[in-house]
């Protein structure tokens, strides 16, 4: 009988395979152990030492730590410029707000005057209509016969002639009366149309004023938010940067020939305006304010010169546009220095390279170098 062969699965493993199987088992155990260790390290965060470090925040001059969370990677110098720009935009909007307020005041005055005229004209028209009604009733009571018809029927020639003169006078009076009635009605209609147009203009001005107010508040809020996101030490450094920028501008201006040559003396009115302005030092800035407790820039200069007996436009742009301009080298104390390309800021020159002004939200009326901001030009109240 033939012998049956057993398959490898039916018998024990050959002796030659045992060492190989042992090596595979050891390698498997080592691999599993390493995997477990790596898993523990990863879970505990130890593996993060191999990750790329976050990019540092850049401060002034390229140093790290120049800004805090919430302002991104901006340097303090960039933040300073942005805050300055935001306050500049708020200043421009304040001028627009003041202009709208001044315009609205004039329009309200015009509307009030028109309303009074309408009321007076309406009363006159009502009186004329009452008189016309009385004439009509008188004619009806006389049988509807006209004065001319009654005249033609008169029997006495002399009475006829006398009555003819009276008729002519009556006819002329009637024509005058009707003309007055017609003119009064026309004037009333014209006043009503004028008042309607003025009301529309006033509403448009109110919208412009509201838009300017919204712009002011949004710019100031954004500037304050930028500042509030900085740490205390960063805010102190930011203040230093602002002062450095002001000093640099002042030094550049002082290095020009302008302050050396403006040796003019203040007039009597100029001295009174300067005295008023100096008395306001320390009072808070408030946009749209013109005293007595708070001021914006043009509100301060307007009230100062008003105290000296001069009437000035309400806005810095109006003061720049309407007052006589003088060369910087000829300016004298009491003159107004207008700043920025859009004439959105104004201050009063005190002499010796200094000025007094109401700077911006969060600050008070103060005396500073006349060249600490970009100068547009100089104007002179009082001629």
The DSSP result for 334-354, as a single string, is T-EEEETTTT-EEEEEEETTE
The last residue of one of the domains, among 204, 228, 252, is 228
pLDDT digits (tens, 9 = 90+) for 80-111: 999 999 999 999 999 999 999 989 988 988 88
Q: Are residues 197 and 334 in the same domain?
A: no
Which parts of the chain register pLDDT below 50?
A: 1-18, 21, 24-25, 27-28, 30-70
Q: Are residues 241 and 172 in the same domain?
A: no
Q: Are residues 97 and 201 in the same domain?
A: yes
Residue 106 within a domain: yes
| Average pLDDT of the residues of the chain | 78
pLDDT digits (tens, 9 = 90+) for 197-234: 888 999 999 999 999 999 999 999 999 999 999 999 99
Q: Are residues 220 and 247 in the same domain?
A: no
Q: Are residues 327 and 238 in the same domain?
A: yes
The last residue of one of the domains, among 175, 199, 228, is 228
Whichever domain contains 251, its CATH number is 3.90.1720.10
Q: Are residues 221 and 301 in the same domain?
A: no
Task: Report the predicted TM-score, pTM, of the whole model to 2 decimal places.
Answer: 0.64
How would you list the strands of the sheet with 345-351, edge to edge? 325-326, 375-379, 336-339, 345-351, 354-357, 366-369
Q: Are residues 221 and 256 in the same domain?
A: no
Q: Are residues 81 and 217 in the same domain?
A: yes
What CA–CA distance (Å, rounded) separates 31 from 264?
93
Nearest residue to 273 via CA among 214, 333, 204, 220? 333
Catalytic residues: 297, 345, 357
Helices 232-254, 76-141: crossing angle, 10 deg rounding: 80
120, containing H or E segment: helix 76-141
163, containing H or E segment: helix 157-228
DSSP state of 266: P
Range of the domain at 216: 76-228
Q: Are residues 254 and 126 in the same domain?
A: no
Q: Are residues 224 and 81 in the same domain?
A: yes
Q: Are residues 307 and 199 in the same domain?
A: no
3-state secondary structure 273-308: HHHHHHHCCCCEECCCCECCCCECHHHHHHHHHHHC
């Amino acid at each position: 009988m033939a012998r049956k062969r057993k398959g490898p699965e039916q018998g024990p493993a050959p002796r030659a395979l045992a060492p190989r199987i042992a090596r595979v088992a050891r390698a498997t155990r080592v691999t599993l152990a390493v995997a477990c260790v790596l898993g523990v390290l990863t879970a505990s965060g130890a593996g993060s030492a191999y990750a790329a470090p976050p990019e540092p925040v850049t401060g002034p001059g390229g140093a790290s730590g120049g800004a805090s969370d919430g302002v991104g990677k901006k340097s303090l110098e960039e933040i300073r410029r942005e805050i300055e720009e935001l306050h500049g935009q708020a200043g421009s909007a304040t001028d627009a707000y003041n202009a709208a307020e001044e315009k609205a005041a004039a329009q309200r005055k015009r509307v009030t005057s028109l309303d009074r005229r309408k009321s007076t004209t309406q009363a006159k028209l009502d009186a004329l209509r009452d008189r016309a009604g009385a004439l009509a009733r008188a004619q009806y009571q006389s049988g509807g016969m006209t004065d001319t018809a009654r005249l033609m029927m008169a029997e006495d020639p002399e009475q006829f002639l006398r009555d003819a003169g009276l008729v002519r006078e009556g006819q002329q009076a009637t024509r005058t009366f009707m003309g007055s009635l017609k003119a009064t009605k026309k004037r009333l209609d014209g006043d009503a149309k004028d008042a309607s147009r003025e009301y529309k203009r006033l509403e448009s001005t109110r919208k412009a004023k509201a838009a300017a107010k919204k712009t002011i508040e949004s710019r100031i809020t954004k500037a304050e938010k930028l500042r509030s996101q900085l740490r205390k030490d960063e805010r102190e450094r930011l203040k230093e940067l602002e002062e450095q920028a002001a000093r640099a501008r002042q030094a550049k201006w002082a290095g020009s020939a302008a302050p050396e040559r403006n040796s003019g003396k203040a007039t009597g009115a100029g001295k009174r305006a300067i005295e008023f302005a100096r008395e306001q030092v320390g009072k808070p800035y408030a946009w749209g304010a013109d005293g007595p407790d708070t001021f914006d820039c043009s509100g301060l200069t307007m009230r100062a010169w008003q105290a000296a007996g001069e009437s000035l436009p309400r806005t810095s742009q109006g003061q720049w546009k309407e007052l006589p301009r003088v060369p910087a080298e000829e300016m004298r104390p009491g003159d107004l220095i207008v700043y920025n390309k859009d004439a959105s800021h104004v201050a009063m020159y005190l002499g010796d390279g200094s000025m007094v002004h109401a700077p911006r939200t969060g600050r008070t009326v103060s005396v500073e170098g006349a060249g600490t901001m970009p100068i547009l030009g100089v104007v002179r109240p009082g001629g």
